[in-house]
Every structure is written in C-alpha cells, then in structure tokens.
Amino acid sequence: MSVVSVKDVAQRAGVSVGTVSNVMNHPEKVTPDSIAKVQAAIDELGFIRNDAARQLRDGRSTTIGLVVLDVRNPFFTDVARGAEDRAADAGLSVILGNSDETVTRESAYLDLFEQQRVHGVLISPLGDISDRLGRLRTRGIPAVLVDRSSSDDSVSSVSVDDVAGGRLAVQHLLDQGWRRIAFVGGPMGIRQVADRLVGAREALANVPDATLEVIETEALSVIAGRTVGAALVARAERPQAVFAANDLVAMGVLQALMMQGADVRVPQDVALIGYDDIDFASAAVVPLSSIRQPAALIGQTAVEILLEEAADPSIARRQVEFQPELVVRASTFGV
Amino acid sequence: MSVVSVKDVAQRAGVSVGTVSNVMNHPEKVTPDSIAKVQAAIDELGFIRNDAARQLRDGRSTTIGLVVLDVRNPFFTDVARGAEDRAADAGLSVILGNSDETVTRESAYLDLFEQQRVHGVLISPLGDISDRLGRLRTRGIPAVLVDRSSSDDSVSSVSVDDVAGGRLAVQHLLDQGWRRIAFVGGPMGIRQVADRLVGAREALANVPDATLEVIETEALSVIAGRTVGAALVARAERPQAVFAANDLVAMGVLQALMMQGADVRVPQDVALIGYDDIDFASAAVVPLSSIRQPAALIGQTAVEILLEEAADPSIARRQVEFQPELVVRASTFGV
DNA sequence: CTTGCCGATTGAATCGTTTTAAGAACCGGG
DNA sequence: CCCGGTTCTTAAAACGATTCAATCGGCAAG
C-alpha cells in the first residue's frame, strides 16, 4: 500500500514541497521549467493530493451538503441535479443526504456535515431548525433553505409559493364543477403540506357549497397514497375530486382506484390532481394533472446564494420565491 | 467565527487533549469521572470534531463513494438506499456521484473519491476501468462493481444476470405469440444494455420465424424512449412487440405511442416490456411488464463485500450474481 | 517505610498540505 | 564590479485529532 505525498513528488522533481504546492495552486508564481518538472513527477508517481490535509489547512472542504426530505421523490433528485450542476461550475461537489422525513436522520446529517466542515448546507428542513443553522453560521458554514421559505430573516431561502399552489389546484377542481373535495397528504408537520392545505382552503372560501375533507397520511409516498386510495374504494360516499399533496401520493391513490376489482374511473368517478409534476406524472395510467415547480432551477439558485454567502458572510439574506404553475391533464378533464 | 477544538475542550474540562480524544474513541480507558467532565465541556462548548484532522491522522475517511450511471433512474436510487442503510449500520455514510453515462464525469468522481481517501468505492462502471480500480486498491481503497459482473477476478462485483433477464423478457414476448420484435436501448457501450440484447438474441435463436430489430438510443432516458416511440408511430410497419432496455425508455416509448393523435394501442397494436421494475412501472398508462432486479439488496450486498475487503485486503474477491424475475402486467397481456 | 505494580493521564510527535517570511538567484544600471 | 530590485525557491510553521511512550499516583506486599 504505497502512499505518494507532495514530499515524494518534490524529491522526484528535485524541488521543494512549497514549489510543488505552488504548481498546483498558484502556477503563475512558478517557472515554466519547474511546472514541467513537477508535472512530470506527478504523472510518473500517480500523485493525487490528500483532501483531508488540504481541508485541515484551510478550514473548509470543497463540498456542499444537501439534505432532502426524500430521495425517492423525483422532485428532489431534480433539485439535486440543479445544485450539482451549479456547484460543479464552481469546482465544488455535492453530497446528498436523505432525511426520510425523520428528525433524527436530519440531525445526523447536519452533524456529519458540520464534522466535515462543508462549504455550506442546503436543506429542505423538517421542523424549525433555525437555531441549528444559526450555530452552523457562527462556525462559518452558511445554510440556505430549499423548497421552504424561512420564517425569519436570519437565513436565506429558495422556495415555491405553496399556498398559491394549493389554491391553483383546488381552484381548478372547482372550475371543473366538483364540490366535494378531499385533500390527501401528511404529516401536517411538513410545512409544504400545511401550506398547500391552506391554499386549498383559501380557494374553497369563495364557494359556499363546496366542502373539503382532509385525509392525513403518515408520509408522502406511493404506498401511503395507495392505502388512502384503497380506503376510498371501500367507501360508499366518495369525494368527487382529490387533491394529493404530491405526485407520489397521487400516483398511489390512482393505482388503488384503478386496481382490478375496484374500477373507480378517473376522472369520471373521482378526479385527481397531484403536486410537483414529476416526469412520471404524464406517463401515469391516467395522465396526472399537477402543479409544476421549477426543481432544477431551485437547486441552482440555492447554490448560487450559498456561494455568495460563503464568499461574504455579511451579505444580506435573500428570500427567493418562485411561482408554481398548473398543468392540466386527463385526470381532471371536465366530466 | 469561533472554532472549538479538542484543545479548548481539554482546557475547559481541566484535562489533557489525549484524555479528550480517549473519551471519544476509547472510553474504556478513561475514568467515569473524566468522561463526565469532558462530556460536559463538549456540550457546553458545542464541540464537533473536525473530520479532516481525524482522517488525516488515520489515512482514510468514514465515507463510501458510490458512482451510478443515472440518479434519475429509480433503480439506482434504490441501490443507493440499500447501500446507505448497510453503511449506516457500520457508522459510515455514502456520498453519491452521478456519472450520467459520461466517461469524463465518471473519472472526475473517481478522482474526487481518491482525493478524499474514501473508505471504499462502489461503482456502476461505464467502460473498462479495471486499471483505475487496481490503482485504487494499491492505495488501500477497495472497490466493488455494482450492477455489473467483472470481466476478471481482480475485483469483486454484485450483479444481476442481464443475459438471463434479456432472455426472460423476449421469451415472454415469444410465448405470447409475437414474432416481429424490436429492442430499444443504448448506447451499446453500456454493458447492461449489450448483455440484455445478447439474452434477447438467445431467446430468438429457438424460433426460426422470429425477427429482432435493434433500435439504438443515445441514452437510457424517458426522453430517448419518447423519440423512438414517436418514430414508431410514424412508421407504416411497426414491430409487434418492443423490449426496452430499461423502464425509463419503456415509459418514454409508451407515452409517445399513446399520445393524442397517435393512438397506437398497447398491447393490442404494440406490446411493451421494460427492465428494472421501478415503482412507477406499475402505475404507468398501461401497467408495464418488466424484469425485476433486487435493487436495495444489491446495494446492501455491495457494501457488505466492501467492508470485508476494507477490513482484510487479502481476502478473496467475490462475484455475487442475482437472478432477475419476470413481472407480467397489462402491457404484454396476450392479444 | 520502601518497593513494585498497575491503571489513568499527559505531552509530544505525527499525518500531508498550504502559506509565509526569509533567502537565493538573477537582472540591468551606475 | 557592486548594488537595488525583481522573481523564484525554500524551509518552517501552521491546521486539529490521534496515538504512544513516558510519567504520575495510589495501593498492596514485603
């Protein structure tokens, strides 16, 4: 098990370690002749610098930590790709953590990132973690909230207006003539879920004879949706339209409704709209109406802000909010 | 920007840095009294140890690097979750890299992982990288191939028999009575694609009047599939059945075939089978037949082997191969 | 009261890189 | 031929956690 260090390279090239370091980090300070010798030595020995030592020296790593609620949700992988792309431009890499909607895991990842002295943290938070993020900041690690607006001005955020999204979705259902509406999603502790519900209620407020039933789920997953869908199938009186808190839940509901033996027609018997507009929504059994969010753009923008704050910690925090967009497909096409 | 180091903790607790370190790493060597004092100091100061320094000292990090072909493919995120779970049991975390089916990106991630002196590398390789992995090994970094069997015995692998999978898929299509079959997928440089095609050809060999058309794509994505699907719609003579190299491609093909105006019926006009059996396959417009692979199990097993080799580099390499499984749904239900 | 032993604690050395202050080499001008 | 002023290069000092050899203190046996 051989380990090649700058020292070995320096010896081979017949220069000092300082020069080797300069070749790699400040080539303008070094003779072309030295560059050539050092480069040759590096290639011959297959030297690859030890990042731990480098990080130790300058205090922070070249990595950005990203904590998402659910890696299985294509929305978040799209956010991650946006972030990666922008980070790569700046020579940084992204390490992806999956909190799985669990406070424990979320906290564990934040610890890990702090141990690693990451360049910054992007997080789609579960609860209120402004204290935690404040501490990170005092340690020189900036943080940006992703897919969530911040409650105070101490931290930047990149989000989408979830209340508006919820309003859009339910307004659309009402426009199509449905009155008995159900909201499916949860847990309510997740801000995005709560906000979408608020939006839904707002849309309802203008229509006296409309009702909203709230069916809370344990998670925002296909499985959770399927459970609710099965329960709906079994019921005598079903809602006319369902607004699911995200597309995974919506697809679960859809699967259960259309299952052999159930034969509930969508949208004739029950209309259905989701949220996120993931790629698979348009390919569903019945192509799914949804609320589109600019996922990759969110990731890019978050990294952008993070880099600014990392470069100048005194810069003002920013709250960026994108607007969601209604996408109508067969699952809510007029009766 | 305050930084708290072991030195600060030691001072606060009234002990030496060595004792602080022992409290964290070898508590059995330390008096309960000291543990209490040190623990108190750690909590008061909010000390979090610097991973870079720790890594520098003992030569390797507590991270496993995982390079996948495509993070947008749910199959790979499932593999990643399996790997994460098993790694977490061992106190390690997984950093996920996305090669995007690009040699450049693949190589960049391997460089990054080597710089970081990761505990080990799991990789779903693009081309032949046994040299690269051999070098990693001489540096003390074991590697395990994921979703790919190794060509030689120098590196362990966890894979699924793709030839068998291809055979299963096409055999099923033949059993249902279809004869003019098309294979859609690519690039052929990806081993999994090539192997599945080999399997397809093997199944064909027994049936004299059956034909196989190969339609190569640029990537294994929904978009690529959609392009092929659109081309098929435009054609006068269409294959009776399509075997797509993975579910993303299959779903793209499906979307295009069923698009408004196209109105090609599946499976009546064209049958369709995919590969991977991702969650969304069962929720597709027409529920998709597919070849199932034990994704999470692959990830777990790979980490398992990696840990063994990290603990004892002289241990024999292992080649684990799982068998794929046919899942029949509506998209290939007999005419 | 001394000696020997054992476990707990200490402080210095170490990992590999970057940076900085100091020194060496070289230039042209006086 | 020397001198001031550039460039380049060098050696040494960080960074922070871990480990190891050395030391300390306490206790029992002689």
Instruction: State how far the alpha carbon of B98 is from the alpha carbons of A86, A146, A329, B104, in Å.
Output: 14, 21, 32, 11
- What is the predicted pLDDT for the residue at B279? 87
- What is the predicted pLDDT for the residue at A220? 95
Each residue of B146-193: pLDDT tens digit?
A: 999 887 889 999 999 999 999 999 999 999 999 999 999 999 999 999
- What is the predicted pLDDT for the residue at A262? 81
- Find the closest chain B residue to A50 by CA distance: B115
A115–B50 C-beta distance less than 8 A = yes
B contacts of A93 (beta carbons < 8 Å): 97, 112
This prediction's pTM: 0.88
Q: Residue A311 CA to nucleotide D15 C1', Å?
A: 21
- What is the predicted pLDDT for the residue at A283? 79
- What is the predicted pLDDT for the residue at B274? 98
Burial level of A7, CB count in 10 A (0-12/13-18/19+)?
Answer: exposed
d(CA B245, CA B276): 9
B contacts of A116 (beta carbons < 8 Å): 51-52
d(CA B127, CA B151): 11
Each residue of B17-43: pLDDT tens digit?
A: 999 999 999 999 999 999 999 999 999
- What is the predicted pLDDT for the residue at A143? 97
- What is the predicted pLDDT for the residue at B176? 95
pLDDT, averaged across chain B? 93
Answer with the residue of higher pLDDT: A312 or B334.
Answer: A312
Each residue of B197-241: pLDDT tens digit?
A: 999 999 999 999 999 999 999 999 988 999 999 999 999 999 999
B contacts of A50 (beta carbons < 8 Å): 56, 115, 117
Q: Three-state SS for A33? A: helix
| pLDDT surpassing 60 at residue B335 | no
Q: Which of B4, B133, B280 to mutate to test the interface with A (most CBs of A within 10 A)?
A: B280
Distance of CA B158 to the CA centre of its chain: 10
A25 nearest nt, CA–C1': C18
% of chain B at pLDDT higher than 70? 99
Averaged pLDDT in 10-residue chunks for chain A of 335 residues: 86 95 94 94 94 93 93 92 93 88 91 93 92 91 94 92 98 97 96 97 96 97 93 95 97 88 89 95 88 98 96 93 97 80
d(CA B272, CA B245): 11
- What is the predicted pLDDT for the residue at B334? 64
% of chain B at pLDDT higher than 90? 81
Query: Residue A115: which of B48, B98, B313 has the nearest Cβ?
Result: B48
Nearest to A145 by CA among A307, A305, A324, A312: A305
Residues lining strand C, beta carbon within 7 angstroms? A 3, 5-7, 17-18, 20-22, 24-26, 47, 49-50, 53-54, 56-58; B 14-19, 22, 29-31, 33-34, 53, 56-57, 59
d(CA B254, CA B329): 14
Specify the DSSP element, H or E, that contains A95. Answer: strand A93-98
Q: Which of A185-189, A199-203, B263-267, B282-286 has the lowest mean pLDDT?
A: B282-286
- Chain B nearest-CA distance from A135, in A, is 9
Nearest to B231 by CA among B247, B209, B246, B213: B213
- What is the predicted pLDDT for the residue at B72? 86
A22 nearest nt, CA–C1': C18
